[in-house]
Structure 1
Amino acid sequence: MLFKIDAETSTRPAGRIRQKNESIILRAAEIEFASSGYKGASMNDIAQRAGLPKANIHYYFKNKLGLYMAVISDIIALWDSTLNAITPEDDPGEVLSRYIARKVCFSVENPLASRIFAAELVNGAPNMKEYFREDYAQWFRGRTDVFGAWVSQGKIDPEVTPEHLIFLLWSSTQHYADFAVQIKAALGKDELDEQDYLNATATLTHIILKGCGISR
């Protein structure tokens, strides 16, 4: 051998190439699933949209369902990360304000994935049966336990039910991605601008904090 290949160095290009290709495939899949639905989308169409051979798609994602779940998992991971680390010792005003701002931001940055998730749920979540199992219920109970602790500590008004507060947070923030067409039509705009999202964030934050009895 004329030279020795450093193992770590030699894997870096492959790692970068893999990340790049997976990102291209996921973005193409988002567009295809959002426009055609799960049943209407095909791996061939996704490959053409990604500008990659179909064999490459199957190299990174075994089948259409695996690719579909990867698209949905990406947005769920982003959403869940906003509440994963909360504790009873946290200030709910800060937590809720940060959550609302980030969720509205996700609606701007990941609207297609949010709509794919919404369409899946509207259709009874046929491809997400495994996701909505005990692990999901445990995660949700962990969040409601923290919200319940805030109620017990007097940080949130006792009339507020933790479960339904979380449902309100989900629906109000995701509305700006899932029903963007309706919002744009109501406002008479072709596209929403930054100020629209800032106004949405400020309004939701004010109403939700005030409804929880939280002073800022």
Structure 2
Amino acid sequence: MGNVSVVAKSKHNPRSKESIREENELIILAAAEKVFAMHGLKGSTTMQIADTAKLPKSNIHYYFHTKLNLYRCVLESILIDWMKAADTFNTFDEPREAIRYYVGAKMDLSRTRPFGSKVWANEIISGAPEMEEILSSKLKKWVDSCVSSINKWIELKKIINVGDAHTLLYMIWATTQHYADFDYQVMILNNGKKLTDQEFEEKKQQVIDLVLRSVGLNP
């Protein structure tokens, strides 16, 4: 996508300004995700992001105005994807399906958006200077909803009592995001080779089974 001009299109297939804007924003966000993951907010420049996106630097400022705003957009983007993954807590009545699909989706996001996960991890490790408000509002509200679902399953004896439901969520986050945040370590421990798609699918299923067993459910 980065090598394809978003402007030079056939006259027979004209594109709206809105579609061009959306594509450019996605390209810039993907590039920013990678640059911020590698260099952090302070160590990154809009020129680095523009070079990675293969777009003029002026486009970065046109669409996102400032580096800080772009950084916040990257963080919110990965949070939204993680929150969508947990929709299964409301979609399924049975915890086996809800947990299975949630953990699977989180693993897939670690595979497809490792840089986004790393940007988030670095922000939290730094004390969340740019995300504290979102953490105390949007994230907490979402977590409270997940905790409510888990506690309901416990009350109905659909899963074993895990104590504080937050602990189950933390375990899921730590395990799934490990494959993104520590992908280099995973590679080293895999005889210096990145996980193939097949190997990753095997790991994903193992993690799903592990989490299900931890709450007393058969995979």
- Does TM, scored on the shorter chain, surpass 0.5? yes
In the alignment, the residues of structure 1 paired with residue 31 and residue 91 of structure 2 have an alpha-carbon distance, to the nearest angstrom, of 40
**1:99 aligned residue:** 102
**1:124 alignment partner, SS class:** coil
Q: 1:174 aligns with which of 173, 177, 196?
A: 177
1:62 maps onto 2:104 in alignment: no
AA partner of residue 127 (structure 1): E
* Cα pair distance change 1:185/1:152, threshold 3 Å: same
Q: 1:72 aligns with which of 55, 70, 75?
A: 75
* Cα pair distance change 1:96/1:44, threshold 3 Å: same
How far the C-alpha of 1:37 sits from its partner, in A, is: 1.0
AA partner of residue 16 (structure 2): P
**1:20 aligned residue:** 23
How far the C-alpha of 1:209 sits from its partner, in A, is: 1.0
AA partner of residue 32 (structure 1): V
**1:165 aligned residue:** 168
**1:125 alignment partner, SS class:** coil
Aligned length, in residue pairs: 206
CA contact (8 A) 2:162 2:168 kept: no
1:120 maps onto 2:123 in alignment: yes
AA partner of residue 192 (structure 1): L
Select the structure of larger CA radius of gyration.
Answer: 1
Percent of pairs with identical residues: 33
Q: 1:147 aligns with which of 146, 150, 156?
A: 150
- After TM superposition, what 4+ stretches of structure 1 lie above 4 angstroms from structure 2? none
In the alignment, the residues of structure 1 paired with residue 38 and residue 91 of structure 2 have an alpha-carbon distance, to the nearest angstrom, of 42
**1:41 aligned residue:** 44
- Give the alignment of 1:198-213 within 5 angstroms: 198-213=201-216
CA contact (8 A) 1:88 1:149 kept: no
How far the C-alpha of 1:85 sits from its partner, in A, is: 5.3
* Cα pair distance change 1:72/1:88, threshold 3 Å: closer
* Cα pair distance change 1:15/1:165, threshold 3 Å: same
CA contact (8 A) 1:88 1:146 kept: no
Question: Quick check: 11-20 or 55-64, which moved more?
Answer: 11-20
In the alignment, the residues of structure 1 paired with residue 121 and residue 139 of structure 2 have an alpha-carbon distance, to the nearest angstrom, of 17
Superimposed CA distance per residue, residues 33-79 of structure 1 (whole angstroms, 9 cap, x where no aligned partner):
12211101011221232222222211110211110111121111111
1:184 maps onto 2:187 in alignment: yes
Superimposed CA distance per residue, residues 148-192 of structure 1 (whole angstroms, 9 cap, x where no aligned partner):
000000001024431110111111001001101111111113311
Higher relative contact order (CA 8 A, sep 6+): 1
Task: Give the gaps of 5 or more residues in structure 1.
Answer: 1-10
CA contact (8 A) 1:100 1:205 kept: yes
Task: Give the gaps of 5 or more residues in structure 2.
Answer: 1-13
How far the C-alpha of 1:89 sits from its partner, in A, is: 6.4
